[in-house]
A and B are shown apart, each in its own frame.
Chain A
Amino acid sequence: MHAAPIHRAAERFMLDPAGVVFWPRRRTLIVADLHLEKASSQAGRGQLLPPYDSRTTLDRLALLVRHYAAERVIALGDSFHDRHGAARLAPEDAARVARMEMGQTFIWIMGNHDPSDAALSELREGEVIFRHQAGEVAAGGIEFSGHFHPKARIATRAAAIARPCFVVDQHRVLLPSFGAYTGGLDVASPPLRALFPRGGQVFLLGRDRLYAFPLTHAAHAA
């Protein structure tokens, strides 16, 4: 795994091909849109999807926490797919969450799928802002957000390849969704483009590295 460093607000952040960001100075792992218990949410509507999404997501996260020896995890909202998700978590999976919460500090930012009383609506540490959905950023600041599940489609000589991606400019880092069953929104779609009026860069997630392209390269077919 080769993470790509970016420098913003006099800090260094590592974009990891697994779809998370590591902030070395604060030993903090940043992750977005876990959407735990999405399968059981669908099951309630008659689609009996395999119920292993939560443990897949949590195991992947635990691996990254160990890999970076992170002391703190910031989850940027929509950690559960719906407001009753936490109650449906299988006992083994609840134990996985509890184990991680014992080892690391967890900061749950509130997302639109989360119950409103459970978490922070945003977190600021100096010039660094953490929120679920991108908002205003003052000059010199840097914001990390999720919500959109960005993915990009790149035309290659043989085929167009679509992958989840980070979208980055001087003030923002949009994280791809981390949940096992989560889909994506094309970076060419209007709500995503509106966030990057002066362009930016996409980093497509690869098997063990990121692939960088200008946002305009991925942004066609509106």
Chain B
Amino acid sequence: MNKSKTSLPSRFGDWFAARKWIVRPHQLAVLAAIESGDNALLIAPTGGGKTLAGFLPSLIALADDPHPRLHTLYISPLKALATDIARNLEVPIAEIGLPIRVETRTGDTPANRRARQRIAPPHILLTTPESLALLLYSPDAAAYFADLRLIVIDEIHALAGTKRGDQLALCLARLHRLAPQALRIGLSATIAYPEAIRAWLSPDGQGVATRLVLGEAGAPPEIGLLIAPGRMPWSGHMGLMAAEAILHRIRATRMTIVFVNTRAQAELIFEALWRHNEETLPIALHHGSLDVNQRRKVEAAMAAGKLRAVVATSSLDLGIDWAAVDQVIQVAAPKGVSRLMQRLGRANHRMDEPSRALLVPANRFEVLECAAAIAGVAEGDLDGDPPRGGGLDVLAQHVLGCACAAPFHPDDLFAEIRAASPYADLTRQDFDDVQHFVENGSYVLAVYERYRKLFRDSEGMVHVRNARVVRQLRMNVGTIVEAPLLKVRLGGQRGFGGATLGEIEEYFAAMLTPGDTFLFAGRRLRFLGIRETSVLVAEGGIGEPKIPAYAGGQMRMSTHLANRVRAMLHARDQWEHFPEPVREWLALQALRSDLPGPDDLLVETFPRGGRWYLVAYCFEGRQAHQALGMLLTRRLERFGDQPIGYVATDYVLGVWCAREPANIPRLFEEDMLGDDLEAWMAESSMLKRSFRNVAVIAGLIERMHPGGEHSRRHVTVNTDLIYDVLRKHDPNHVLLRATRADAAHGLVDLAHIAGMLARVRGRVRHRRLDRVSPLAIPVLLDIGRERVQGGNAEEALLAETAALVAEAMGTETLA
């Protein structure tokens, strides 16, 4: 097949010419793949006409044959992206004069439009994985999708490898059965594992008939470090001291996005910028917890060129073409190379011009991390994990969904599911267990015969039991599980009718006392109280504000980046790029102790304030260090070193003991990963949170629908309690297996610990110092600042607090 033969039909060629555009080779290559009946995965930089490449085959086919039917399905991870693409598609459709109808369908689509779309579908339907699942899980799905020709999956890297991606892969497998003629186009700017994604996209899950199309590389980005004048902080992750320097850079350009890592940080940076913003430059705030209307306003102002800067979290990461952005400023370490590249892409939507970006490290270690990330971008060294096996919880939802659409035979459904790449290795046993779970809970104690959700007929077909089961499924479709949220509303006269500012987690709201001040939506708010499902607030709080924290807000550093940081530490020729205080700091470390080597483990011990400290420079990320900290303290306890506590950062682990730890190499031997670990993992709050998500996705417990009558009528059950009971009586239950699989994939980072222990065997370098080393200062400053989770830590905190209160009150107990 000769690619050069493919060319645009003349109407399309004329339109390109009129816009002074030249059709790009990758756009033609995608067209060629589709015309010869193949699927295509397109990886091209932002600004390379990627979206148009995805839609050209549809537009060309529909130009010739516009008879009404659902021809193309477009799936994006964001509702806003679907809306944006719809708007952008209208341009060629209007200018070429094509008789093509494009519509979006998301959770925000009004019911009457959704109903009309069912009867008279548009040619091109733009939707999200969740809305697609809902369409597929209804009885008329087969007819609805029968004529489908093309499926476009945008930002495919943001879906593949996640639970949303698992569900989408299952839905694609289903679509393949309903419309085997439909071809798939995957779009992405950054993919670390193109071959794995190609397999993911293909109809057999192995890569059959799926071409990889690479766009030309764009101009290399220009990235610099922005170091605030003054002392370089030892610790902290907010980067507030750089506010003035950031403002200076905002002033020097037309439009800037200031990216931060968490919503809490967004609020703080936004406030810090405005504190210095004497000329009142229009600077706005954008994050996922703000009210939708508020976000839409900011987006519109950006598009209209009315803003000079937006402080944003990942809410602006993905490819929405808001406006011409001239520079990106990333405050605090970017945590990963792929992530940074994605954000850089926001700075310029013309691929032949470089994106301009500045990284603002918040502390000394982050200087190293930022430098490592810049080097990683220059080398195109993408990070991220290869897609993992599909979740059994997602499968449970899908099996019930399929039953709601039409009766199925288990053998057929099993074969269909195995064609989805995340489930290519699914065993029949796991499939049967999942199906039994959906059917009757699949418990060892079989008492739920009369509450079955599925039944089998004499031909072995599986049917859904009744309409209530269908209703329950439709209320609970999707794999995004959020902590219970409360709306934040400005209190009116009688506490009603105020504007909604956004949502905060119930957990945070419960910690507030009337009169407390907190930062939200860029305002200082005074907490008045909680009414129903709303947090009532008034403007103008006084005193030290609290900042809403969100579960899962913490981001972990990628392994790639950690390895680069470690390599930089002992490559002195790279230090010249670092600011003076950091160079001095490292030089002093070399003098007083030693520098961590590329493939060894540096461990320091030193006395301080009557305790002995042990600091291990592992560079495996905070999660791994937390697990390692637990293992080490148990072991130190057995050795009689009397450990008191530990603290984990992304870079190092610090442990403190009442006695001097002896025999350091023995401490880090591989047999550390024994029974202790199992026991700790099972008790850890990470696993419990993971179980909660699994339980919701699999349909064991219902989602909370805030404000809905639903939530008040139904009794909610604490999933921690269910977890404990299930673990005791049915330890091999399919939901516990799903939970453990989740934990093994990234929650606990066991592989990292095991890999490190094996790597450093016989290479533990112990430095016994008489005082704290320069490199250890940041971790010592973090002591007492980190969140402590679950188990013994909670007990210790309660004991400490109870003793404190008793002392203050002057009573032991009430006699």
Interface string of B92-123 (1 = CB under 8 A from A): 00000000000000000000000000000000
B728-A46 in contact (CB<8A) = no
B799-A211 in contact (CB<8A) = yes
Within 8 A of A (CB), among B460-474: 468-469, 472
Output the least CB separation between B112 and chain A (Å): 29
A179 nearest in chain B by CB position = B721
Interface string of A37-68 (1 = CB under 8 A from B): 01010111111111111011000000000000
Partner of B717, one of A52, A183, A221: A183
Output the least CB separation between B505 and chain A (Å): 12
Q: Does B714 contact A (CB under 8 A)?
A: yes
B728-A56 in contact (CB<8A) = yes
Q: Which residues of the partner chain A approach B472 to less than 8 Å between Cβ atoms?
A: 46
Output the least CB separation between B291 and chain A (Å): 23
Give the residue among B469, B514, B721, B799 with the most A Cβ atoms within 10 A. B721
A51-B717 in contact (CB<8A) = no
CA distance A98 to B448 in the complex (A): 23
Q: Does B730 contact A (CB under 8 A)?
A: yes
A51-B445 in contact (CB<8A) = yes
Interface string of B600-623 (1 = CB under 8 A from A): 000000000000000000000000
CA distance A114 to B610 in the complex (A): 59
CA distance A7 to B814 in the complex (A): 9
Output the least CB separation between B723 and chain A (Å): 9
Binds A, one of B578-586, B745-753, B774-782, B786-794: B786-794
Binds B, one of A25-33, A125-133, A136-144, A152-160: A152-160
B814-A156 in contact (CB<8A) = no
Q: Which residues of the partner chain A approach B799 to less than 8 Å between Cβ atoms?
A: 206, 209, 211
Q: Which residues of the partner chain A approach B509 to less than 8 Å between Cβ atoms?
A: 221
Within 8 A of A (CB), among B772-815: 784, 786-789, 792-795, 797-802, 805-806, 809, 813-815
Q: Does B24 contact A (CB under 8 A)?
A: no
B700-A158 in contact (CB<8A) = no
A51-B447 in contact (CB<8A) = yes
Task: Knowing A48-B451, A154-B798, A155-B511, say if A212 contacts B725 (CB, 8 Å).
Answer: no
Task: Knowing A40-B447, A55-B729, say if A154 contacts B510 (CB, 8 Å).
Answer: no
Q: Does A217 contact B (CB under 8 A)?
A: yes
Q: Which residues of the partner chain B approach A88 to less than 8 Å between Cβ atoms?
A: 447
Q: Does A181 contact B (CB under 8 A)?
A: yes
Partner of B802, one of A38, A53, A180, A212: A212
A161-B797 in contact (CB<8A) = yes
Partner of A52, one of B716, B729, B784, B788: B729
Interface string of A75-100 (1 = CB under 8 A from B): 00000000000001010000000000
CA distance A38 to B722 in the complex (A): 11
Partner of A221, one of B511, B728, B729: B511
Q: Which residues of the partner chain B approach A207 to less than 8 Å between Cβ atoms?
A: 792, 795
B452 nearest in chain A by CB position = A48
Output the least CB separation between B152 and chain A (Å): 36
A204-B447 in contact (CB<8A) = no
CA distance A204 to B789 in the complex (A): 17
B723 nearest in chain A by CB position = A50
CA distance A55 to B795 in the complex (A): 27
Output the least CB separation between B710 and chain A (Å): 12
Q: Does A9 contact B (CB under 8 A)?
A: no
Q: Which residues of the partner chain A approach B792 to less than 8 Å between Cβ atoms?
A: 207
B721-A181 in contact (CB<8A) = yes
CA distance A155 to B718 in the complex (A): 21
Q: Which residues of the partner chain B approach A212 to less than 8 Å between Cβ atoms?
A: 802, 806, 813-814
Q: Does A222 contact B (CB under 8 A)?
A: yes
Partner of B451, one of A43, A159, A160: A43
A37 nearest in chain B by CB position = B447
Task: Knowing A168-B814, A217-B805, A221-B513, say if A181 contacts B447 (CB, 8 Å).
Answer: no
* Chain A: number of interface residues, binned into ranges: 35 or more
Q: Does B143 contact A (CB under 8 A)?
A: no
CA distance A168 to B814 in the complex (A): 9
Q: Does B236 contact A (CB under 8 A)?
A: no
Q: Does A6 contact B (CB under 8 A)?
A: yes
Q: Which residues of the partner chain B approach A181 to less than 8 Å between Cβ atoms?
A: 717-718, 721-722, 725
Q: Which residues of the partner chain A approach B529 to less than 8 Å between Cβ atoms?
A: 221-222
CA distance A213 to B788 in the complex (A): 21
Output the least CB separation between A183 and chain B (Å): 5
Q: Does A201 contact B (CB under 8 A)?
A: yes
Partner of B448, one of A4, A48, A168: A48
Within 8 A of B (CB), among A170-191: 180-183, 186
Q: Which residues of the partner chain A approach B798 to less than 8 Å between Cβ atoms?
A: 154, 156, 161, 163, 204, 206, 211
B798 nearest in chain A by CB position = A211
Output the least CB separation between B506 and chain A (Å): 11
A50-B805 in contact (CB<8A) = no
Partner of A48, one of B440, B728, B806: B440
Q: Does A103 contact B (CB under 8 A)?
A: no
Task: Knowing A161-B797, A212-B806, A217-B805, say if A49 contacts B813 (CB, 8 Å).
Answer: no
A52-B726 in contact (CB<8A) = yes
Q: Does B635 contact A (CB under 8 A)?
A: no
Partner of A158, one of B443, B729, B797, B813: B797
Output the least CB separation between B729 and chain A (Å): 4
Q: Does B733 contact A (CB under 8 A)?
A: yes
Q: Which residues of the partner chain A approach B726 to less than 8 Å between Cβ atoms?
A: 50, 52
CA distance A186 to B729 in the complex (A): 29
CA distance A88 to B448 in the complex (A): 11
Q: Which residues of the partner chain A approach B483 to less than 8 Å between Cβ atoms?
A: none
Give the residue among A4, A157, A159, A207 with the most B Cβ atoms within 10 A. A159
CA distance A52 to B730 in the complex (A): 9
A214-B809 in contact (CB<8A) = yes
Q: Which residues of the partner chain B approach A159 to less than 8 Å between Cβ atoms?
A: 787-789, 797
Q: Which residues of the partner chain A approach B700 to less than 8 Å between Cβ atoms?
A: 47-49
Partner of B788, one of A40, A53, A158, A214: A158
- Apart from A47-B702, A48-B700, A159-B797, what 14 extra A-B contacts exist at CB < 8 Å? A7-B815, A38-B717, A47-B701, A51-B441, A51-B443, A90-B445, A153-B511, A154-B801, A159-B787, A168-B814, A201-B813, A221-B509, A221-B511, A222-B514
> Sorted from nearest, which 8 A-B pairs have the closest CB atoms?
A48-B441, A52-B729, A156-B797, A211-B802, A43-B451, A220-B513, A50-B726, A158-B788
Task: Report 29 cross-chain contacts, Cβ distance below 8 Å, ordered by A residue.
Answer: A46-B453, A46-B469, A46-B472, A47-B700, A47-B717, A49-B441, A50-B441, A50-B726, A50-B730, A51-B443, A51-B447, A52-B725, A52-B729, A53-B725, A56-B725, A56-B728, A56-B729, A90-B447, A154-B801, A155-B511, A157-B800, A158-B784, A158-B788, A181-B717, A183-B716, A207-B792, A212-B813, A213-B805, A221-B512
Residues of chain B having any CB pair with chain A under 8 Å: 440-441, 443, 445, 447-448, 451, 453, 468-469, 472, 509-514, 529-530, 700-702, 714-718, 721-722, 724-726, 728-730, 733, 784, 786-789, 792-795, 797-802, 805-806, 809, 813-815
Residues of chain A having any CB pair with chain B under 8 Å: 4, 6-7, 38, 40, 42-53, 55-56, 88, 90, 153-161, 163, 168, 180-183, 186, 200-201, 204, 206-207, 209, 211-214, 217, 220-222
